[in-house]
A and B are shown apart, each in its own frame.
Chain A
Amino acid sequence: MPRVVLVGNLAQLTGGVAEFQLSATSVKQLFDQLTALHPAIGPHLEEGVAVAIDGQIYQEALFQPIAADSEVFLLPQIAGGSGAHATRHAYASSAATAACSACPAIQSGQGCRRSTSSAHTR
Chain B
Amino acid sequence: MAENGTNGHGYVGTRTIRPDGVDKVTGRARFGADFNLPGQLIGRVLRSPHPHARIVAIDTSKAEALPGVKAVITRDDFADQPSEFIPAGEMMMNYKDVVRNVLAREKALYEGHAVAAVAATSAAIARRALKLIDVTYEVLPHVIDVVEAMRPGAPLLHDDLFTAGVEPKPDKPSNIAKRVEITLGDVDAGFAKADVIVEREFKTAPVHQGYIEPHAALATVSEDGTAELWCCTQGHYIVRAHCARLLGLDIAKIRVTASEIGGGFGGKTVVYLEPLALALSRKAKRPVKMVMSREEVFKASGPTSGATVRVKMGATKDGKFVAGFAELKYQAGAFQGSPVQPGVMCAYAPYDMENVKVIGYDVVSNRPKVAAYRAPGAPISEFAVESVVDEIAKKLGLDPIELRMMNAAREGTKAAYGPKFGPIGLEETLNSIKKTEHWNTPLRKWQGRGVASGFWFNIGGETCVSLTVNEDGTVSLMAGTPDIGGLRASLAAVAADELGVEYDKVRPIIGDTGSLGFNFLTGGSRSAFSGSMAIVEAAKQIKADCCARACKLWDLKPEQVAWERGRVRPIGDAADKAKPMSIADFAKVAGKTGGPIVGYGRLNAQGAGPSLGTHLVDLEVDPETGRVTILRYTVAQDAGKALHPAYVEGQFQGGAVQGIGWALNEEYVYGDDGKLQNAGFLDYRMPVASDVPMIDAILVEVANPKHPYGVRGVGETPIVPPLGAIANAMENATGIRFTELPMSPPKVLKALREKGVTAK
The answer to whether A114 touches B165 (Cβ under 8 A) is: no
10 A-B contacts (beta carbon < 8 Å): A55-B419, A58-B606, A79-B376, A79-B457, A81-B90, A97-B82, A115-B92, A117-B164, A119-B336, A121-B160
The answer to whether B95 touches A121 (Cβ under 8 A) is: no
Complex CA distance for A55 and B336, rounded to whole angstroms: 30
Complex CA distance for A116 and B182, rounded to whole angstroms: 13
Instruction: Give the chain A neighbours of B520 by CB distance below 8 A.
Output: 80, 82-84
Produce 1/0 per residue, B169-184, CB < 8 A to A: 1110000011011100
Output the least CB separation between B369 and chain A (Å).
14
Supplied contacts A61-B606, A73-B419, A78-B342, 10 more A-B pairs, CB within 8 Å? A52-B419, A54-B419, A55-B419, A83-B461, A86-B87, A90-B84, A105-B164, A110-B170, A115-B86, A117-B165
10 tightest A-B CB contacts, nearest first: A119-B164, A81-B87, A80-B524, A52-B419, A80-B459, A73-B418, A87-B241, A86-B88, A55-B420, A118-B92
The answer to whether A55 touches B422 (Cβ under 8 A) is: yes
For residues 72 through 103 of chain A, which have their beta carbon under 8 Å from a beta carbon of chain B?
A: 73, 75-87, 89-91, 93, 96-97, 100
Instruction: Give the chain B neighbours of A55 by CB distance below 8 A.
Output: 419-422
Grouping DSSP codes into helix (H, G, I), strand (E, B) and loop, the B interface class, with mixed when no group exceeds half, is loop
Kindly state whether residue A64 has any CB partner on chain B within 8 Å.
yes
Instruction: Give the chain B neighbours of A14 by CB distance below 8 A.
Output: none
Complex CA distance for A122 and B178, rounded to whole angstroms: 13
The answer to whether A54 touches B84 (Cβ under 8 A) is: no
The answer to whether B84 touches A114 (Cβ under 8 A) is: yes
Produce 1/0 per residue, B121-160, CB < 8 A to A: 0000000000000000000000000000000000000101
Instruction: Give the chain B neighbours of A97 by CB distance below 8 A.
Output: 82, 84
Candidates A9, A81, A116, A117; contact of B88 at CB < 8 Å: A81
Kindly state whether residue A60 has any CB partner on chain B within 8 Å.
yes
Kindly state whether residue A67 has any CB partner on chain B within 8 Å.
no
Kindly state whether residue B345 has any CB partner on chain A within 8 Å.
yes
Output the least CB separation between A6 and chain B (Å).
9
The answer to whether B85 touches A87 (Cβ under 8 A) is: no
The answer to whether B88 touches A83 (Cβ under 8 A) is: yes
Instruction: Give the chain A neighbours of B336 by CB distance below 8 A.
Output: 119-120
Complex CA distance for A77 and B164, rounded to whole angstroms: 17
Q: Please report B residues at the A interface, Cβ cutoff 8 Å.
A: 82-96, 158, 160-165, 167, 169-171, 177-178, 180-182, 235, 237-238, 241, 244-245, 251, 336-337, 339, 341-342, 344-345, 372, 376-377, 417-422, 457, 459-462, 518, 520-521, 523-524, 526, 604, 606-608, 706
Instruction: Give the chain A neighbours of B524 by CB distance below 8 A.
Output: 78-80
Complex CA distance for A119 and B459, rounded to whole angstroms: 22
The answer to whether B161 touches A121 (Cβ under 8 A) is: yes
A117-B169 in contact given A56-B706, A81-B88 (Cβ < 8 Å)? no
Kindly state whether residue A111 has any CB partner on chain B within 8 Å.
yes
Candidates B162, B235, B341; contact of A118 at CB < 8 Å: B341
Output the least CB separation between B750 and chain A (Å).
36
Complex CA distance for A93 and B171, rounded to whole angstroms: 27
Chain A interface size band reads 35 or more
Complex CA distance for A73 and B251, rounded to whole angstroms: 35
Kindly state whether residue A2 has any CB partner on chain B within 8 Å.
no
The answer to whether B418 touches A115 (Cβ under 8 A) is: no
For residues 47 through 70 of chain A, which have their beta carbon under 8 Å from a beta carbon of chain B?
A: 47-48, 52, 54-61, 64
The answer to whether A89 touches B84 (Cβ under 8 A) is: yes
Output the least CB separation between B182 and chain A (Å).
5
The answer to whether B161 touches A79 (Cβ under 8 A) is: no
The answer to whether A47 touches B86 (Cβ under 8 A) is: yes
The answer to whether A120 touches B85 (Cβ under 8 A) is: yes
Complex CA distance for A122 and B520, rounded to whole angstroms: 28
Output the least CB separation between A108 and chain B (Å).
6
Output the least CB separation between B734 and chain A (Å).
35
The answer to whether B180 touches A77 (Cβ under 8 A) is: no
Instruction: Give the chain A neighbours of B182 by CB distance below 8 A.
Output: 7-8
Output the least CB separation between A7 and chain B (Å).
4
Candidates A5, A54, A96, A110; contact of B162 at CB < 8 Å: A110
The answer to whether A110 touches B459 (Cβ under 8 A) is: no
A83-B177 in contact given A56-B706, A120-B85 (Cβ < 8 Å)? no
Kindly state whether residue A71 has any CB partner on chain B within 8 Å.
yes
A109-B162 in contact given A93-B82, A100-B84 (Cβ < 8 Å)? yes
Kindly state whether residue A12 has any CB partner on chain B within 8 Å.
yes
Complex CA distance for A52 and B420, rounded to whole angstroms: 9
The answer to whether B87 touches A76 (Cβ under 8 A) is: no
The answer to whether A79 touches B181 (Cβ under 8 A) is: no
A71-B419 in contact given A8-B182, A59-B461, A87-B241 (Cβ < 8 Å)? yes
The answer to whether A83 touches B462 (Cβ under 8 A) is: yes
| Beta-carbon nearest neighbor of B716 in chain A | A79
Instruction: Give the chain A neighbours of B160 by CB distance below 8 A.
Output: 121-122
The answer to whether A64 touches B606 (Cβ under 8 A) is: yes
Output the least CB separation between A25 and chain B (Å).
17
A52-B180 in contact given A82-B462, A85-B87, A121-B161 (Cβ < 8 Å)? no
Complex CA distance for A118 and B606, rounded to whole angstroms: 23
A82-B169 in contact given A55-B419, A110-B162 (Cβ < 8 Å)? no
Instruction: Give the chain B neighbours of A48 by CB distance below 8 A.
Output: 86-87
The answer to whether B89 touches A83 (Cβ under 8 A) is: yes
Instruction: Give the chain B neighbours of A109 by CB distance below 8 A.
Output: 162, 169, 171
Instruction: Give the chain A neighbours of B244 by CB distance below 8 A.
Output: 90
Instruction: Give the chain B neighbours of A64 by CB distance below 8 A.
Output: 606
Instruction: Give the chain B neighbours of A114 by CB distance below 8 A.
Output: 84-86
Candidates A7, A61, A108; contact of B169 at CB < 8 Å: A108
Complex CA distance for A53 and B83, rounded to whole angstroms: 32
Complex CA distance for A7 and B457, rounded to whole angstroms: 16
Output the least CB separation between B355 and chain A (Å).
16
Instruction: Give the chain B neighbours of A121 by CB distance below 8 A.
Output: 83, 160-164, 177
